Amino acid sequence: MAIIKITAAAVTEVMGAASPNKTTFYFDADLTGFGFYRTTAGTGTFFAEYRPIAGGPKKRIKLGRVGTLKANEAREAARKVIAHAGLGKDLAKDRSDERASVTVKTLVSNYVEEFVATNKKASSAEFYRTMLRKHIEPRLGSTKAVALTRVDVQRAHASMSKEARISANRSMKLLAAAFVWGAKNGFVPDGFNPAKGVDLNKEEGRERFLSLDEMAALGEAMRTAETIGFEAVVSDAKHAPKGQRNKMHPCITGAVRLYMLTGMRLREVLHLRWDEVDLQRGLLFLPDSKTGRKTVVLSAAAVDVLADLPKIGVYVIAGETAGLPDEKPRADLKRPWATITKHAGLPGLRIHDLRHSFASVGAWSGLGLPVIGKLLGHADAKTTQRYAHVDADSSRRAADAIASQIAAAMGGK
C-alpha cells in the first residue's frame, strides 16, 4: 500500500512501471477512501472505500478502469460515493442488488470481456465468445444467474452434447469459471456455482501419427491438387459440364506443407505475416503464439516452400481479402483439407495431426524429447512427454550403444 496524490501524471507514472508481483494499492493523500490498484497483469482500477454505518466494516466499490476513467473523473465519483455513505446510502449494496438480476448471458459475457479479454490471450476470449453464442446463450442465456440450477445446467449440457461433445464440455468449464468470477464480483452469492460438478462427456486422446506411406499419399494428393486438379463435383443437370477439374491455389498446398515440415499450429501458419519471415537466416518470428513470443527454426525444405509461395498480401497464406486495405488472414482450410484427405485415402485426418506426425518423426529419428519440445514451442516439458512411447526405439538404440561398449570392456559376448 502506498499513499500518493492521485493525479493524471502520478497515475501515468505508476501504470508505466513494470507490473507488480502482487496487486498493489495506492491511496490518495487528500481524499480519504479514494484510490486505485494495479494487478500483476498490469491493469489498474479506481475505487472508493467507505463505512456505510458508523463503526461498521469498510466497503469498497469499483469506479472504473484506469485509462477508461480519468483521474479527476474518478476523484469526483469517489467524492460522491463517500458523501452518499455519510447520508446513509450504500451505493455498493445498490449495485449488488442490480447485479443480482443479471442473466446467464450477461454474467458470462461480463466475465469474458472484463476478465478473460484483459488477462488472457485474444484467441481465448474469442473462443469463449463463440462458446457463449453457439451453446450457452441459446439454452441458458435468458435465465437469471441466481436462479440457475444444476439440473438446468446438466440438461443444457446434454442438449449441447448432441451437437458437439467436446464443445459441450468446454462450455461447462466456461460457465463454471464465470460463476466463480461472478461470486467474487457480487453478481451471485459466494460459493454459488450450479455448473460445478456437472457430469461431462468422456474425452479420449485423439493423437494420430502418419506413417511414411501415409505421408507419401498425402504428398501425391497435393501434387495432383496443384497441377491437374481434382475432378469437380457436378450436378445431374442435363447440360452440366463433364470432366471439369479444379486446381488448388499454391497457398493452400503450401500451408499444408508448412504444417508437415514445421509442426506449427493451425493459426500460427494462417496468421503468419511476410514481415515475420527471415528466409536468409531460416527463421520465423511469431509475436503471439499459444505460448507467447516464439521463434521457429526452419529446415531447408520449409525455406523452399516459403520461397515458392506467391506474395499477394501481408499474410503468407493469402485469403480472400489478400492485397486489400482491410486484409484479414484466412479463417481456415476446412474444405480444401477435406478434399485433399479424401483423395489421399485419409478420411478423418486433422490438420493438427500433422503436428503430432512432425514430432513422431523426430522421435523415430533419435532426437531427444527436449529438442522436439523446443521445435514445437512447448512451454512445459510435460507436454512433450506424450511422444515418449514413440521415442522408445531411439532410447533402445542408445541403450544398446552404451551397453555394447560396457560389455566389450568387461570382456563379455
Average pLDDT on 110-137 reads 89
CA–CA dist 275, 273 (Å, integer):
5
Same structural domain, 297 and 278: yes
In this structure, the strands spanning 2-4 and 24-28 are: parallel
* Cα–Cα separations (whole angstroms), residue 34 to 29, 30, 73: 9, 9, 12
**Do 135 and 235 reside in the same domain of the chain?**
no
Q: What is the mean pLDDT of the chain?
A: 82
Average pLDDT score over residue span 33-39: 93
Asked whether residue 243 carries a pLDDT value surpassing 70, the answer given is no
Range of the domain at 244: 212-360
**pLDDT at position 371:** 53
Residues 25 and 141 in one domain: no
CATH of the domain at 70: 3.30.160.390
Tell me the C-alpha distance between 395 and 364, whole Å: 10
- Structure confidence at residue 291 (pLDDT): 61
Query: What phi and psi, each to the nearest 5 degrees, are found at residue 38?
Result: -125, 130
Report how far residue 114's alpha carbon sits from residue 133's, in angstroms, rounded to the nearest whole number.
Answer: 17
327 & 346 share domain: yes
Number of structural domains (the chain) is: 3
The pLDDT assigned to 60 comes to 83
314, 331, 360: which is the final residue of a domain?
360
The confidence band for 236, taking pLDDT boundaries of 50, 70 and 90, is very low
Q: Answer yes or no: do 264 and 126 share one domain.
A: no
Alpha helix positions (H), 58-203: 71-86, 91-99, 104-111, 117-119, 122-131, 137-140, 150-161, 165-184
Q: Which of 8-12, 151-155, 180-184 is least confident?
A: 180-184
Angle, alpha carbons 203-208-210 (nearest 5°): 175
pTM given for the model? 0.52
111 and 10 housed in the same domain: no
148, part of any domain: yes
Residue 117 within any structural domain of the chain:
yes
Rounded average pLDDT over 381-410? 56
- Identify whether 73 is part of a domain: yes
pLDDT average, residue stretch 300-322: 92
User: pLDDT class for 233, splitting at 50, 70, 90?
Assistant: low
Confidence at residue 310, expressed as pLDDT on a 0 to 100 scale: 93
Among the ranges given (14-28, 303-317, 340-354, 363-377), the one the predictor scored with the smallest mean pLDDT: 363-377
In a domain, 11, yes or no: yes
Amino acid occupying residue 19: S
| pLDDT value of position 99 | 57
CATH number for the domain that contains residue 117: 1.10.150
Least confident of 74-83, 340-349, 352-361: 352-361
Question: Both 148 and 129 in a single domain?
Answer: yes
C-alpha cell at 125: 476470449
**403 domain residue, yes or no:** no
Q: Tell me if 384 is assigned to some domain.
A: no
How would residue 381 be classed by pLDDT, with cut points 50, 70 and 90? very low
294 shares its domain with 353: yes
153 assigned to some structural domain: yes
Q: Is residue 53 part of a domain?
A: yes
pLDDT at 413: 47
Residue whose cell numbers read 511476410: 274
- Neighbour tally for 327: CB within 10 Å: 15
Domain stop point among 83, 99, 115: 99
Same domain, 94 and 122: no
Residue 230 bridge partners (DSSP): 246
Q: Are residues 34 and 118 in the same domain?
A: no
Rounded to whole angstroms, the Cα distance separating 243 from 227 reads 15
- Say yes or no: 173 and 218 in one domain: no
Please count the CA atoms within 13 angstroms of the CA of 263 that sit on its side-chain side.
Answer: 23
Summarize the chain as % helix, strand, coil (round to 5).
50, 15, 35
Write phi, then psi, for 163 (nearest 5 degrees).
Answer: -95, -45
Among 99, 120, 154, identify where a domain stops.
Answer: 99
Residues 238 and 141 in one domain: no
pLDDT band at 50 (very low <50, low <70, confident <90, very high): confident
Reference 153, options 197, 105, 218, 191; nearest CA is 197
Residues 230-249 have a mean pLDDT of 67
